Structure 1
Amino acid sequence: MSNLRFGAGIWHFATYVDRYATDGYGDSRSILDAIELAGKVDDLSVVDLNYPFFGGDFTNEQVKTALEAQNLSVIGITPEIYTKVFRKGAFTNPDPGVRRLAHDLITEAADVVRYFGADYVKLWPGQDGWDYPFQVNHRRLWELSLEGLGQLAEENPDLKFVVEYKPREPRNHMSFDSVSRTLLGIEKIGLPNIGILLDFGHALYGGESPADSAQLAIDYGRLFGMDVNDNLRSWDDDMIAGTVHPIELMEFFHVLRSNNWEGVWQLDQFPFREDSVDAANMAIDFLKRIDAALNRLDVEELTAAQEAQDAVKANRLVQQALYGG
């Protein structure tokens, strides 16, 4: 594949807290600090920005100036519809006033997408869902999810909206929890400008094959974007891409290439204890190795092996392409 473009969520270069290290892993950084760090990564050309911008009261113009200084552009804007005010949900909050706040924040983010000429509004409704049996009326919860998403897409037909699904966290069960459920919801809404952002690690964590999930989303014309990372499958660890599941990562990109899917190869990693620039460079270096291996892969032989469901032959071909020898 030629003309590869690499991106990253700007949060890759922020600082993190968890429920143990509540004082954080590293010094506090603003979005301008994070952009400066992102500019130090080799071959990084685009970023996904949280909105509102973190670490200060920054204008679009200030952020644009910082991006231009690092030769970076914006692929997406991610409105923060998962913070404390939305702790009982954004689209699914029982308070219609809070649902309106979510709608208004996403509408503001849509204007930021237009300002930067980005590709999409990215929606990660992490607080939409439930925690306990009998806590919610499941029909009503799903209706609210689709109504909120559908209204925004209908009001902004010039923009793409991508939904990033995930099984759980912060809610014990998220409404958009899998590729199949998310596709069902999108197809029920029936608007052309809603799609999926497929997070490789979320698919792993949900017990999916990321390659199979990508194929399903492509078959419905709904794969609008993707993030890559890695994890140990029991949690959304957001580790460096390729460190745990290199073969499945290669299969994922093989599916994208086989379908002529073109888009940014984007990192969604949380290097809590690692140097963020080194972690990004390591991931991008491995993604380049994946691309080179796909160039070497004997697709005709692989197709024949797959037609016969010959797992040994197929994996031997893949290992030779990726590892050599």
Structure 2
Amino acid sequence: MTTGFFDGIAPITFEGPDSTNPLAYRHYNPDEIVMGKRMADHLRFAVAYWHSFAWEGGDPFGGQTFERPWYPQDDMGRARQKADVAFEMFDLLNVPYFCWHDADLRPEQGNFADNLSTLEEITDYIGQKMESSKTGLLWGTANMFSDRRWMSGAATNPDPDVFAFAAATVKGCMDATHKLGGQNYVLWGGREGYETLLNTDLGQELDHMGRFLNMVVDYKHKIGFKGTILVEPKPQEPSKHQYDFDAATCIGFLRKYGLENEVKLNLEQGHAILAGHSFEHEIAVAAAEGMLGSIDMNRNDYQSGWDTDQFPNNVPEVALAYYHILKAGGLGTGGTNFDAKLRRQSLDAQDLIAAHVGGMDVCARGFKAAAAMIEDGGLDAALADRYAGWTGAEAQEMLNSDLDSIQARVLSQGINPAPQSGRQEVLENYVNRFV
């Protein structure tokens, strides 16, 4: 029995690039073999519960625009109805995973005991639905940024009672994620930062955040959770300064607190842009340090200075992101989570389906372009050529030498290097052949 919310919408199937059906996959064929593996197993798509079902269509200047049968989201009956609609959409899209915050699933109760009780109740209900569904849980996380209790942070809060509330909340969310067979657990420090240094002990807050994350890792091992612990970088918004600014900042933090072998990164396209980076940059940085975990796929509006969380539509950007992911060996337990939401004027159920269909097609098209570039080998060849000088014995010996010896060699050999072209435009033209 269906909910009726998606009445008139048939299951989405692959119809090929010539299809003009707006509710069909043109590029995403889950069973297509790319580089020896099903496309579905490479991309590992996930629907974000918060944007697709919990978000009401507001923005910083206006409130709710969506009208859904499960609004207002203030009782468990409507929470179960929301889960029913969610799994109906997962089945229509044939998507392998979904993701959630605790606050997306259950209504806020105003106290920890009831929050935990309702989380356990709704995740039991979701677990029953998963038994008859092909959709699994990519990851769970705790919303520790929306309620006013988190206004000064969670793990970094100056009030130890808030730290305790946060720790208890994360334990409950980790238990729920483990119960549902989650592949990962994410910590996004939505308000782990500061507004002014006038009232902030930055060093103490970082130490508390490091200790908190070590507790999370310890608990993962205690309960036998086999998934990956992920942290998600984000600059600025909502705090003036976020401690988890970008991939490099998070990697330095993880190394400082001895977590580099226990925690990986969940990287988001929109957050990369807010940090002044490209998505491929953030992925390449994480991959270089062995800390690439999972991705949140979306885009920002380049004319706006905030996190607009739109569905991806730029194939070249997506292709370069997946190129670095494939070069790093893939996403492992991670996946491609659509941390993306409809525009507040896109009111209909069909809009929700079409947005995911389009996003999955853009990702599939970009992914296939990335795979083709890897198989062609042109970028690898150009890279090898540019760094070829470092393959020589003398260059390698120099890395284990000292300044005195290097200066003597420069003088004795009359080394006077001429600049070599980086051939950027040639390589950009090469990429455009595939996208």
Aligned mate of 1:62, from 111, 125, 128: 125
Q: Which runs of 5+ in 2 are unaligned?
A: 1-33, 74-78, 108-117, 387-420
Segment drifting more, 217-226 vs 282-291: 217-226
1:268 aligns with 2:346: no
The answer as to whether partners of 1:13 and 1:34 remain within 8 angstroms in 2 is no
Other structure's SS at 1:198 match: strand
Shift of the alpha carbon at 1:34? 4.9
| Alpha-carbon distance in structure 1 between the residues aligned to 2:216 and 2:289 | 21
Which residue is 1:90 aligned to?
A: 154
Indicate conservation of the 8 Å contact 1:162/1:196, yes or no: yes
Q: Percent of counterpart pairs with the same letter?
A: 19
In the other structure, the counterpart of 1:186 is: 254
**Contact kept? 2:98, 2:138, Cα under 8 Å:** yes
Q: Counterpart in 2 of 1:246?
A: 315
Task: Tell me, in whole angstroms, the C-alpha distance in 2 between the residues paired with 1:253 and 1:190.
Answer: 29
Match of 1:78 in 2: 141
Please say which structure displays the higher CA radius of gyration. Answer: 2
- Aligned residue pair count: 320
- Which residue of 1 is the match for residue 359 of structure 2? 283
Query: Which residue does 1:315 correspond to in 2?
Result: 428
Q: Paired residue for 2:66?
A: 25
Structure 2 CA distance for aligned equivalents of residues 114 and 40 of structure 1 = 22
In structure 2, the residue matched to 1:300 is 377
- The alpha-carbon deviation at position 24 of structure 1 amounts to 4.2
Deviation readout 1:15-63 (Å, 9 max, x if unpaired): 3333333234333364415513532553411001221453554432211
Structure 1 runs of 4+ off > 6 angstroms?
A: none
- Aligned pairs for 1:156-171 (under 5 A) are 156-157=220-221, 158-159=224-225, 160-171=228-239
**Residue 226 (structure 1) shift:** 1.1
| 1:261 alignment partner AA | G
Which shows bigger deviation, 127-136 or 193-202? 127-136
The offset of 1:177, in angstroms, is: 1.1
1:62–1:276: structure 2 CA closer, same or farther, 3 Å change rule?
Answer: same
1:24–1:130 distance in 2 versus 1, CA, 3 Å: farther
Q: Deviations over 1:166-210 (max 9, x none)?
A: 002222221111111111111122233212111121112211122
Work out whether residues 237 and 306 of structure 2, in 8 Å CA contact, stay in contact via their aligned partners in 1. Answer: no
RMSD over aligned CA atoms reads 2.1
Amino acid at match of 1:20: F
Structure 1 gap ranges (5+): none
Q: In 1, distance between residues paired with 2:325 and 2:153?
A: 33
Superposition deviation, residue 65 in structure 1: 2.5
CA distance in 1, matches of 2:92, 2:433: 29
Task: Judge conservation of contact 1:40–1:277 (CA < 8 Å) in 2.
Answer: no
Q: How does 1:172-183 map to 2 (within 5 A)?
A: 172-183=240-251
Distance between the aligned counterparts of 2:122 and 2:311, measured in 1?
31
